[in-house]
Every structure is written in C-alpha cells, then in structure tokens.
C-alpha cells in the first residue's frame, strides 16, 4: 500500500494556506471599507466646516457696523469730527450778479434795532446792519439760524414715527434751522421752507436693540425745516 502521508500533509498545508488567504482578503476588504467610510466622513465634516465659515463671513459682511453703513449707504453717516468739518464748510453765501426787471414795486422797510420775535424765543433787539454771530443770517425782516441735528425718532411723510439708524461712531446729521420775524417790519412775511431729506431707518418691527443686519434697515423720507425767507406780500 502506497504511503499517502506526504500527500495528506501537502493537502492540509494547501487548505490552511487557502484559509489564510481568505482571511487576509476579508481583512483587507474590511480595512478598505473602513478607510472609505473615514474618508467620506472627513469630507462631509470638511464641507460642513467650510459652509459654517462662509456663513459666518457673509453674516459678518452684512452686520450693522460703521464700515458696512458707509458701504451700503455712502454719504449718510459721519463721526462727530467729520460732522464738525462738514458743518464748517456747509453754509457759504456768495453774492449774485444777475438782475431782473420786475413789473412790481418791490420795497421793504426795516427799522433799526427792531424786535425779532417768534413763539419759542425771548424777543430781543437786533442790529439789522450786520450779523451778530457767525450762524445768524438776516433776510428782509427775518433772522435765521442754521444748525445740524441728529434725531433718534422722527415722523416721516406719511405720519409714521421711524427710528434712525445710529452708532456711537456713525450718526446721521441733518441741516435745519430756526426762523424769526421782526416786529414792525412791513413788505414781506417770514416763511420756513419744508424740504425733503432721506434717512436710514430700522425696518418695521426692528429697533436699535434687535437689529444686527443691514437687511434690517431701509431708506425713508422726512421733512426738515431748511431755509428761512422773507416772502413779498405787497406790490
């Protein structure tokens, strides 16, 4: 009878080798699947982080700040120092050379040292021959004062109170003034022009405490008292 021992040993060795190969292949496939899952997870996390950074950057780009207010509403906002420089250059009177022929007999009588009066100030004598202060202007029987204000609330053209957008280092300033008439003057009546200005305000439902995005703001229109003139009333 032939000796089959070597054959059985070879078959056993080959069977064991096949089992080892199968285990190695299964392990390799498992590791590859695990690596694939890790790569996918890492990619997803990376995309989420990038999306969050982009969202934060875009949100920061639109938050209510001095730079963004000047970017989205150029010319509306100034610091106190900028406003002071602006005010010093804002009102300049230049004599005109043009004349016209009027069919009316235009005349104005202004008495010396007449009383200037309005409903909010105490009457007092004033010399009409010169300006008593740099911000006082005389026009016919009128004395006017020009200045700037930075309101917090104001009624718009439609009768609705709106809150103005304002920061510590970025405020909105508007030229306005007062107008007084001289008792005893004849020939004209002092009138104050109501002119329209636009302003940046918070949208309805928002205010200075809740708004944090440029989208919470908008433009609205308001009347401001501007020019004081002595309008002719006679011939």
pLDDT for residue 130 is more than 80: no
pLDDT for 100 beyond 60: yes
Residue 114 lies in a domain: no
CA–CA separation, 226 vs 175, rounded Å?
Answer: 7
What is the enclosing helix (H) or strand (E) of 88? helix 80-90
Range of weakest confidence among 33-37, 112-116, 192-196 = 112-116
Q: Is the pLDDT of residue 211 over 60?
A: yes
Return the pLDDT at 120.
Answer: 38
- pLDDT at residue 221 above 90? yes
Are both 182 and 165 inside the same structural domain?
yes
Tell whether 40 is covered by a domain. yes
Give pLDDT, residue 108. 59
Range of the domain at 179: 66-93+134-232
- Based on the fold, state whether residues 49 and 142 are members of the same structural domain: no
On the question of pLDDT at 226 being above 80, the answer is yes
Q: Looking at residue 101, what is its pLDDT?
A: 77
Positive or negative, the Cα torsion across 133, 139, 143, 147? negative
Question: In this predicted structure, what is the pLDDT of residue 220?
Answer: 98
* Pairwise pLDDT comparison (101 vs 13), residue with the higher score: 101
Q: Do 224 and 172 have their domain in common? A: yes
pLDDT (tens digit, 9 = 90+) per residue, 105-121?
A: 656 555 554 444 443 33
Residue 84 CB partners (closer than 8 Å, separation 6+): none
Predicted confidence (pLDDT) at residue 69 exceeds the cutoff of 90: yes
Strand partners, 163: 153
* Distance between first and last Cα of the chain: 153
Among 148, 163, 164, which Cα is nearest to 224's?
148
Helix (H), strand (E) at residue 40: helix 5-61
143-191: pLDDT as tens digits: 898 899 999 999 999 999 999 999 999 999 999 999 998 888 777 889 9
Confidence band for 197, pLDDT divided at 50, 70 and 90: very high
Query: Which of these three, 59, 79, 108, is where a domain ends?
Result: 59
Give a yes or no: residue 10 inside a domain: no
- Residues 153 and 182 occupy one common structural domain: yes
More confident site: 49 or 211: 211
Within 13 Å, how many C-alpha atoms sit on residue 158's CB side? 4
- Rounded to whole angstroms, the Cα distance separating 27 from 34 reads 10
Instruction: For the chain, give the mean pLDDT.
Output: 78
Beta pairing class for 115-118 and 121-125: antiparallel
Burial class (CB in 10 A: 0-12, 13-18, 19+), 144: buried
- Same domain for 73 and 157? yes
Q: Could you give the count of Cα atoms lying within 13 Å of 212 in the half-sphere of its Cβ? A: 5
Residues 83, 31: Cα–Cα separation, whole Å: 69
CATH code for the domain in which residue 212 is found: 2.10.90.10
- The number of C-alpha atoms within 13 Å of 202 and in the hemisphere containing its C-beta is 20
Q: Which of 36-40, 87-91, 141-145 has the highest mean pLDDT?
A: 141-145
């Amino acid at each position: 009878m032939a000796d089959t021992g070597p054959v059985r040993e070879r078959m056993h060795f080959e069977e064991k080798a096949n089992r080892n190969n199968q285990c190695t292949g299964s392990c390799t496939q498992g590791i590859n699947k695990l690596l694939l899952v890790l790569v996918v997870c890492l990619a997803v996390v990376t995309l989420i982080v990038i999306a969050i950074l982009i969202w934060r950057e875009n949100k920061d780009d639109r938050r209510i700040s001095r730079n963004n207010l000047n970017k989205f509403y150029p010319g509306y906002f100034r610091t106190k120092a900028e406003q002071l420089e602006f005010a010093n250059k804002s009102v300049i009177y230049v004599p005109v050379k043009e004349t016209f022929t009027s069919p009316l007999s235009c005349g104005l009588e202004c008495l010396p040292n007449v009383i200037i009066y309005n409903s909010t100030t105490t009457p007092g004598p004033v010399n009409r021959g010169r300006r008593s202060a740099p911000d006082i202007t005389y026009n016919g029987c009128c004395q006017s004062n020009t200045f700037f204000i930075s309101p917090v609330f104001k009624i718009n053209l439609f009768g609705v109170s709106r809150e103005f957008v304002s920061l510590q280092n970025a405020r909105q300033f508007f030229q306005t003034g007062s107008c007084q008439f001289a008792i005893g003057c004849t020939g004209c009546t002092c009138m104050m022009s109501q002119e329209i200005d636009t302003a940046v305000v918070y949208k309805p439902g928002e205010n200075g405490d809740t708004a944090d995005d440029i989208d919470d703001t908008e433009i609205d229109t308001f009347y401001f008292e501007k020019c004081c003139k002595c309008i002719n009333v006679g011939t």
